[in-house]
A and B are shown apart, each in its own frame.
Chain A
């Protein structure tokens, strides 16, 4: 037991986490350097391309330390982006220590802080690692100072490395062995193993990633899930090297995988505790922070028949990503699809991209939105994430929306621009601090989450010449003067275009959307009114004129019968159109409306 070390790496995006992991794998010989592929732990194409970690991975390595003893190291990778702090907390629950990787040039970023705090809450031992010391702009001393001032950890033992060129890697492993405690020796206790992740294999079913906390688990044993009481037989256990390698058993302190032949992920829920069916443990392990979806949107296949494929794909993705939630949704305009909940914007983007890439789906995504808390007139509280399901105005008392604390770092030249952007998005200024270099400034705002969903980051980047970085964390719900803006095409409400907006911007938004739609929708044999409405009040209107024939003809000699028959013919045409799906809204039109940028909103 003393030879096991479970640790993870915490780092901001681009601070070199995955590169460090690669070097560690190389050094321990877990991967032949011939097989070495950059960013080995990031096994998804998408992760490698974007240079980010989305899914956490675990790998088991053997390391012969300088004291002559061999250690088994379990490295659990963590995603760096704020959207994935849920996954981070899962990794942390499986570890005793963490490497905190900081870019020697850039210093500590807000996101780094958030994850460090998570690790400290979990009583993890933190080893500061200052990376990229080979870079010209590296300033390790400043980073050390930051470490002490901002996190309050002793920086004297911080390691100075360059993962890229491979300096200091051995020292990192030595520190892991020396400073991170071995897992507690509780092998004789009844089995308790935390499922910290899982993935689905089409041949073997659900593969659960577990950290055994107490006891021992072997193939052939009967296990029980502590949350549901469901019982399964273990068909295989093993470790990741990083390939899956079968072992006889997994003991307390060890990290590995467990297969039962279960096909449905919901029977092996991430966060659940596994125990023995015969001698169950008394209490389950404490879970970790539950993922709360913060951003929602509808996903619809471009081709109707792809609905099944999409359903299947979402199910599979959910196997590996419990933070993804979805439920079926139908839209008059878009057909069958799903309302999906994501941890954040990046998470949403990643899921969409994975669906399109890995499942070859062509998707339409509706405008991203947030979940609103609606205080009803009768005193009850509803959580509404789909704007089209917002209760009528007379039934509700008030609407609260999620607010985030947005932290923006940028050179002080751009303060004016940043303030302009945040003001136009209802941001409330909270704090401004100059960094230790007296040049970089940190601005803190409280801002509605909904306001940062539309190209906020792009705006921020373009108006600070790419210098600004931005993080946010959810701080709670606050009451706002919000209204539901409906878009009616041919007097029928198009659910997918409904949105919740602040009252002050409703008119502008409504006009903008109908004007845009008028240009985008194809003409029909009949005229199509386009309207934006708040409740029954029409606030903006446009009409798409019909293809020529609509105009009124002269009623020669009072031949009403002829006139009526022409109308009947025209009506038949309209009816046929209606049967063919009414006014079909081309996807480009949808996208254009949904991508309605706020660039004019200065």
Chain B
């Protein structure tokens, strides 16, 4: 049977963060109950239609830590029944600091959760306020310690930079703050200002401003700081200690199948990409109808090749494996993207390492530019 990943999307939040444009609903017991029932239903249906042995299980959101520990326990059980969780499967729960109590953490550990991803985002109170987060740096510190105390050693912290009024020195302080924890993994993303968010409104109203140049400075200083503490920059925005690369993340970048369950969750299976309805009600209804939004373009060969390239390039050391490309598509990557590769290497943005092609360090701020070059021209 194919192995792959299972992603469970939990669409509940206590409140909306200022930068978030994703669908979320304020949780109520009734809604969570309904969600839970439908999720179990969806897992059963999916298991029949898309058989898969799960090597990873990931609770993302939203705020998965708003589910009760009992609910999380039961979802893991159902997942195990449906997708035969591998013995060493990576099971991650995303959590906001203010939702992590010691008892929660202990229950997760007992249920089989072996990795917790904590949404720390920032450590300065001013920046946390701008982001609309409901926690303080101290709460983040407590959350990390509780998870550790519960016996979960594999911890990720999510961080954001390029925030309004954030200076490179602020960012360095945040990194240093987190480096005091014995965490195994750090994700650092630049803030993306999305339409229809409070953040966008604040920027448009001139209440806050972002300095584009300092984003790049922060982007480039991050690996320098983290590498000193033994982290490896294995993916554009991800850093890990030896042996703690996020397995679920790899599923995405390495074209391994995965099933996304819950509203808005995305799936990739048998070479086809689709996503669930975003809205909780629509999703509930359509579980029975099985009307997923299929991305037909993703089946086109030229799109698949492009995806392979830009997803591979995200993994900095792996890059595009020439052999794997040839194996998958029957042609040499150099022949298909000859011009692009030449241009990129002229620009100093990629380097040909013989068997593989990797992004260079200086290319990272411009990765989107590079990725888009692999996409076919739309006439």
Contact = CB atoms under 8 A, between A and B. Distances in A.
Interface of A: 488, 491, 523, 526-527, 529, 531, 536, 538, 541, 543, 545-548, 550-562, 564, 567-568, 570-572, 574-575
Contacts of B306: 564
Contact of B215 (A551, A558, A562): A551
Contact of B162 (A551, A570, A574): A551
Contacts of B258: 558
B112 interface: no
A552 B237 contact: yes
A558 B378 contact: no
B266 A559 contact: yes
Given A552-B236, A558-B7, A574-B369, 7 more contacts: A529-B348, A545-B365, A548-B212, A551-B368, A558-B5, A560-B307, A564-B297
Interface string B348-379: 11000000000000100111110111010110
Nearest to A554: B189
Nearest to A490: B347
A561 B368 contact: no
14 contacts: A538-B348, A546-B212, A546-B366, A548-B210, A550-B365, A551-B365, A551-B368, A552-B189, A552-B236, A558-B7, A559-B264, A561-B274, A561-B297, A564-B307
Contact of A491 (B5, B265, B295, B346): B346
B266 A527 contact: no
Contact of A552 (B9, B268, B349, B368): B368
B2 interface: no
Interface string B208-225: 001011011001000000
Contacts of A553: 189, 192
A84 B130 CA distance: 70
A545 B189 contact: no
Contacts of A523: 212
B252 interface: yes
B133 to A, nearest CB: 16
Given A545-B216, A556-B60, A550 B375 contact: no
Interface of B: 5, 7, 9, 22, 60, 162, 187, 189-193, 210, 212-213, 215-216, 219, 236-237, 251-252, 258, 260, 264-266, 268, 273-275, 295, 297-298, 303, 306-307, 310-311, 343, 346-349, 362, 365-369, 371-373, 375, 377-378
A492 to B, nearest CB: 9
Contacts of A564: 297-298, 303, 306-307, 375
B261 to A, nearest CB: 10
A564 B265 CA distance: 16
Given A547-B212, A550-B366, A529 B349 contact: yes
A546 B365 CA distance: 10
Contact of A560 (B162, B264, B311, B346): B311
Contacts of B192: 551, 553-554
Contacts of B369: 526-527, 546, 550, 574
A567 B212 contact: no
A554 B377 CA distance: 24
A574 B378 CA distance: 12
Contact of A557 (B265, B367, B375, B378): B265
Nearest to A529: B347
> Which 3 A-B pairs have CB atoms at the shortest separation, nearest pair first?
A571-B372, A559-B266, A551-B190
Nearest to B252: A558
A280 B237 CA distance: 87
A568 B369 CA distance: 11
A485 B195 CA distance: 44
A528 B212 CA distance: 14
A561 B190 contact: no
Nearest to A573: B372
Contact of B266 (A538, A554, A558): A558
Contacts of A543: 362, 365-366
Nearest to A488: B346
B273 A560 contact: yes
A527 B372 CA distance: 12
Contacts of B7: 557-558
B138 to A, nearest CB: 25
A548 B348 CA distance: 22
Contacts of B162: 551
A531, A547, A567: most-surrounded residue (chain B CB, <10 A): A567
A538 B362 CA distance: 14
B366 A527 contact: yes
Given A491-B346, A568-B372, A572-B378, A560 B265 contact: no
A568 B368 contact: no
Contacts of B219: 551
A557 B263 CA distance: 11
Contacts of A526: 369
A234 B212 CA distance: 73
